[in-house]
Every structure is written in C-alpha cells, then in structure tokens.
Structure 1
Amino acid sequence: MHIVMAGASGLIGTSMSAAFRNAGHSVVTLVRRPPASAAEVRWDPAAGVLDPGALSGADAVVNLSGAGIGDRPWTRRRVEELFSSRLGPTRTLVQAMARADTPPATFISQSGSNYYGDAGNTVLREDAPAGSGTLAQICMEWEQAALAAPAGVRVVTPRTGVVFSPSGGALGKLLPLLRLGLGGPFGNGRQFWPWVTLPDVSAAFLFLLGSPVSGPVNLAAPGQADVNTIVAALAHALHRPAVLRVPAPVLRTVMPGLADELLLSSQRMEPAVLTAAGFTWQHGHLADAARWVAGKTSPH
C-alpha cells in the first residue's frame, strides 16, 4: 500500500511511519522544508499549497497534523494556533484530493477523545454527542474538515485518547515525577482518562487502513480507568509511591483553561467500533500498559 502522511515527525507519527514501513507499505511524508529524500514531498498547509500529484495514486492519506495541546499556555494566540494547525492541513489535503487524477481510497484524519468534552461517568461510544469547550470545538471542526473529502474516499476520524509512551507524550511531565516518588493524581482523580499505548495507536491505524470501517473511531484501550487507578498502576509498575495529589485549584492557577479541559475533564470512552471490527490490543489492560511504560516488558 502506498501511504502519504502529514504530521509524521511527532511522537505518534514517527512510531506510525515506522510501523507502516515494517508492515511492508511505502510511506511518503509531507514536510514544510526542502525534501531530504524521495520519500518526502514539500507542502505549505498554512497557505493551502500542495501539489495534487503528491496524492494521485496513493492508497491512503494519514493526517496527524496539529500543534501540541498541552505544550504551551493557552493564550488567545495559542488557541488560534491549535485550531489553524489542524484545520489548515486537513483542508489543504481535502482540496488536493479533489484535484488529484486518482484520489486516495482512504483518508484517516486524526481527532481526539476531547470531542466528548467533560462527560463524567457516562460511557461514550462513537454515537455519543459532542461536548462543549475549546477542545471539543477543535475536534468537531477538525472532523468536519476531513468529512469534506471527495465522494468515494473512505474517511475515518480516530478519536485518540491519552497516549502512553515511556519517552514523553501525554505522560511526559508526570512520569519523571512518578519515577522520583513525587507524582500523584490530578484533582480528585475520579475523572476517566481514555488511555492507549503508542504501539496500539500505530497498530489501530494499520488495522483501519485495511478494514472497511468509516466515520468516528474511539481509539482507546478497552480497560477503562480513572486517574487514581492509572496513577496507582504506573506507580506500582515503577515501585514508587504516588501520594502527592495535585489539587484542582492549583492546576487551574498554573494551567488556566488547559487544566479543566486536558487534565480534569472525564471521558469514559469505549472502543466499540474497533472491538466490533475485531481489533486486538497489545496492551488492553492497564497493568500491562503500565509495565510497558515502566520498561518492565520488551517493546514490540
């Protein structure tokens, strides 16, 4: 399969492009600098510039573009960037598909579990309504942009949860503290985080490339857990205590806006579509995932 990838340089994209190539697929990545090899094509998503020929004959386009949600404080300019860094590339890809001689058969365009907003203990399947808040709005507009792909293109919008990795990602700031015995839950810890390990994200995208599934797909492990349970499992795997709870008011002071939507909101997400389609998780249980993150099992 010939795959064109946007946003391939980040943590998820690097892992995913390697997984695609290991599975025997050819991968071309879209870059904003001069190409360093034949496996790269230059584009300017902010200006809407992409040669449609780059997509002609591709079996699939995978879109992971987007600035990091929790990387910087949420100033007005940063929030605008969170929107534009997702909508610009997605619209540019869709417009190039419309002009391509042979549009790709499949378009997998990233979305996020924050689509559902703060949903408390409600079990969220793919047909659950969108929530409220900045991140929910971003996800809604992101998915709508992808769904504007030309007729005949199968569009999949994986609503990816909190990605676990030993080397950064969502746990980037928490893991070093836990290793020192200084970490703990955020707020009351009863909010659900829809977690998934990095290898399972790549495996799920690979699975979706070859399956007939379309539309939204909840991309999280089936082992639902709240933050108290997640932090306890990670601490146990690291053989460290995790008793230093960070109160919600402190988080809101340190991370205005961001804390409520990213750390304190709850999405009890069920991967109903992936389960029904027959996907198998490498780390379906929290204890297995925690051991992998802690380096207690060999990565696959």
Structure 2
Amino acid sequence: MAGASGFLGTRLIARLAADGHEITRLVRRPTSHPGEVQWDPGTARLDPAVVATSDAVINLAGAGVGDKRWNDEYRALIRSSRVDTTSTLAITMARLPTEDRPKTLLNASAVGWYGNTGDRSVDEDAPAGEGFLADVVRAWEGATRPAEEAGVRVVRLRTGLPLHRDGGLLKPQLLPFRLGIGGKLGNGRQWLPWIAMVDWLDAVVHLLDREDVAGPVNVVGPNPVRNKEFTRELARQLHRPAIMPIPALALKIALGGFAHEALTSARVLPGVLTRAGRPYRAGFPFRHPDLPGALHAALHE
C-alpha cells in the first residue's frame, strides 16, 4: 500500500489487518518497521520484488488538496504526488512476468473527474469535466493504463468526501461550528458527494474481493446533499446555530485557487456500487445511506 499514513490509509490499514491481511507499506523515508519498504516515486524507484510478492496493490498516495493555499508550486505537487506514484506502480506491475504480477490494483481517484455538475446527477458513465482537478484526475487515472494493458484488474476509486471527525471535510469545520460561527459556503447550493467512513472502508474491501468489477467506481454515498443541508444537519447534531455564511470572496482570499473547488457542485452517484444490472451486480449495502446517520457515526464512533 502506498499512502498508508494518510487520513484514509491509516484506517484502511487497520481494517485490512483486522481482516487478516498482511500489508507492506511503501514509504519514502528510511524504513523503521519490518512491514515497510522504501521507494521513491519521484525517480520511479521501486524494487519489483516487493510488488511481485503481493496479491494486490492499493495506492492512496497524494498531497491533500485542502491542506495548503494553492500556488503554482502546490498545484504541481498535487499533480506529481498522484501521477508519479501511480505511474511507478503501474509500470512496475506491467513489467513483471505474468505469473508474478499482482492481480489487482486499487488506485485512488476523485470525484473531481466530473468537474462542476451543477444540479445534474452523474455516475461513472459521465465524461470528464473541466478545471484543474478534473485535469489532474484525467492524468492520474491515465497513469494506471500500463497495468491495465498488462491484464491487471484496475479499479479507480473516485472517492467523494469521507466523513470523520479526525480529518477530511469534517475536521476543519468542527471548531467554528462548536463556537457558533459555522455556516454554509457561498450560497450553499453546491452538492456534496459525502460518504460515511465505515462505508468507504467497506466499499474498498468489497472492491478488493470483487473480481468482476473494474474501471472507475464512485465511492460516495447514495444520497448527496447540498452544502446548506449539510451545514444545517451538522449544526443540529452539534446543538449549535449555523448563521454565519462564508462568502465566496472570503473563501477566495483565504484559500486562493482551492476556493473554486470548495464551491464546486458535484452531484455524484455511486452507480457501479448500487446498480442492479450491467455491467456489474456489485450489490453493495451502505450502512449509512443518509446524512444524519453518517454524521452521527462520524462524530461519535
């Protein structure tokens, strides 16, 4: 696994270990534990023997899009941290003899593929949208092609916004909401493709086992909500008011280029996970299909 120390990776490691899987972590720093192997995706350095001993490869690596104010340097890091890691893994897998090649690559991706969908619902059949993140996701997913062309089952995890109090969309909002100064972003009409953390973990494990599923999979909940609805429900569960909307101009001043993405509407549906016909019958059971239950779990479990 690459990206094992991140917000999602640490939780997935714990889940897979609890399920009895043996995990090798790919790290860029010098190794400090027996289950770690050093690599350098910036120079495409990865020992093929490490990959050859694996049944599957999971790549969650990538600099956080909301971690820092965007400038040209950070935009380049957002792209390279995704494309370089994916390319290194995919090419290494493709070059292995068929009998040594892992059967599966689960590669992180994002609903940013779709750009701004407005009020239009989209599933995995929708084309790529426009904008910086859409361009990054196109290159990111394209970097998996060497593995796919070599016969590896590649699943592109188009993840939405996993909900957990310790990171992601939720963590930076908790303090202002608890202080009574939380509020909707901009006009609050933009759609949020949220997913409960436990459902994200269940979905990844589900996709790891489903040999008949390949290609893009929207790892999002079945009932996206508008930002103003999310704000209202979070305030209700925290027993605080939400009367301080954050104007778009203030977001642009605070976040720079990322403000545009924060205000983007993404009404994304989990088509592959929920559809009952072709091309797959994935049959995924969401534990928290609605926002109130997902937020309660995120805040208290």
TM range (shorter): over 0.9
Distance 1:116 1:192 in 2: 12
Distance 1:171 1:147 in 2: 33
Offset of residue 175 of structure 1: 1.5
Name the SS for the 2:73 alignment partner: helix
Offset of residue 115 of structure 1: 0.8
Offset of residue 147 of structure 1: 2.4
Offset of residue 291 of structure 1: 1.2
Offset of residue 98 of structure 1: 2.0
Tell me, yes or no, if the aligned pair for 1:157 and 1:217 is still in contact at 8 Å.
yes
Equivalent in the alignment of 1:183: 182
Answer yes or no: is 1:139 the counterpart of 2:137: yes
Equivalent in the alignment of 1:93: 89
Offset of residue 255 of structure 1: 1.7
Equivalent in the alignment of 1:285: 290
Distance 1:175 1:129 in 2: 34
Deviations 1:126-167, CA, capped at 9 Å, x for gaps: 011111111000111100101221421000001100121111
Question: What letter is aligned with 1:204?
Answer: A
Offset of residue 61 of structure 1: 0.4
TM-score of the two chains, using structure 2 as the length reference: 0.94
Answer yes or no: is 1:123 the counterpart of 2:121: yes
Equivalent in the alignment of 1:81: 77
Distance 1:254 1:260 in 2: 12
Name the SS for the 2:158 alignment partner: strand
Question: What letter is aligned with 2:274?
Answer: T
Distance 1:20 1:122 in 2: 36
Answer yes or no: is 1:269 the counterpart of 2:265: no
Offset of residue 223 of structure 1: 1.5
Tell me, yes or no, if the aligned pair for 2:3 and 2:60 is still in contact at 8 Å.
yes
TM-score of the two chains, using structure 1 as the length reference: 0.94
Q: Which moved more, 1:284-293 or 1:186-195?
A: 284-293
Name the SS for the 1:20 alignment partner: helix
Distance 1:190 1:147 in 2: 36
Distance 2:296 2:242 in 1: 16
Question: What letter is aligned with 1:130?
Answer: A
Equivalent in the alignment of 1:221: 221
Tell me, yes or no, if the aligned pair for 2:69 and 2:255 is still in contact at 8 Å.
yes
Equivalent in the alignment of 1:234: 234
Tell me, yes or no, if the aligned pair for 1:15 and 1:199 is still in contact at 8 Å.
no
Distance 1:208 1:12 in 2: 16
Tell me, yes or no, if the aligned pair for 2:164 and 2:299 is still in contact at 8 Å.
no
Tell me, yes or no, if the aligned pair for 1:66 and 1:85 is still in contact at 8 Å.
yes
RMSD of aligned Cα (Å) = 1.1
5 Å-filtered alignment, 1:1-300, equals 5-101=1-97, 102-149=100-147, 150-211=149-210, 212-261=212-261, 263-276=262-275, 277-295=282-300, 299=301
Question: What letter is aligned with 2:118?
Answer: G
Name the SS for the 2:252 alignment partner: helix
The percentage of aligned residue pairs carrying the same residue is 43
Distance 2:299 2:2 in 1: 30
Distance 2:146 2:286 in 1: 31
Distance 1:38 1:254 in 2: 42
Offset of residue 253 of structure 1: 2.1
Distance 1:82 1:167 in 2: 21
Name the SS for the 2:52 alignment partner: coil
Deviations 1:210-265, CA, capped at 9 Å, x for gaps: 0121000011111220101111111111111111111112212222221111x100
Distance 1:281 1:20 in 2: 19
Name the SS for the 1:27 alignment partner: coil
Distance 2:297 2:245 in 1: 24
